[in-house]
Copies of this chain bind each other. A is one copy, B any other.
Amino acid sequence: MAARGRKKGADGEKSRNLLLHIAAEEFSKNGYHETKISTIVRRANVTQPTFYLYFQSKEAIFQELVDIFREQLVAYVQQSRLETGLEKGSIEKEIKQRLTNLFSFFKEQSELTRIGFYMAKESSEIKSLIAYQIEQNLRKEQQDGYFRTDVDMQTVADSLVGIMERLTETKLLKNLIEPEDLANEIVRLLLFGMIAN
């Protein structure tokens, strides 16, 4: 006996992906320090040295997940900007669409989102990245006369990120609301304010 050595049909890429996937689940559910490599490999039905065949360290696999989140997010934002830029509806519709896209992304990639937003060392920078993109868009539209000139777009962008972050946590990832409805509420609030008229 002593089942040792390479297994029949063993596929490195498959193993690596599996480990990455399970790691995302674990990190997202339990955080960095509570997540044990031993748990990951047990769940993946491989042994510890196999893990280190594909990842340099625990740090490394976590970082890889953070990087994936950041890259996917940036790509999504870029693409989203192109798409919505085309069909030039009202400013309200356009912003609504952008927000809906973002929320959809967060919902689809809920595990990566939790990691990138709430656990990574660079969480703050990642959020700043998004905030900056948003700020640029808003500034442009402000110059085009859509918005009041006395609001600081950096603050607005930061606020928007804060809103997204919090509502993603309290409502979106708990499946209490759909991306589009969430986007709707926020846009109405930020565009027109709360004051009765």
A residues bordering B, Cβ < 8 Å? 32-33, 124, 127-128, 131, 145-152, 155-156, 158-159, 161-167, 169-171, 185-186, 188-197
Contact = CB atoms under 8 A, between A and B. Distances in A.
Nearest to A121: B31
Nearest 5 CB-CB pairs, A to B? A162-B166, A193-B193, A162-B162, A33-B33, A192-B193
Contacts of A32: 33
A148 B191 contact: no
A83 B24 CA distance: 47
Given A165-B166, A169-B124, A170-B124, A189 B145 contact: no
Contacts of A127: 166
Nearest to A147: B194
A155 B169 contact: no
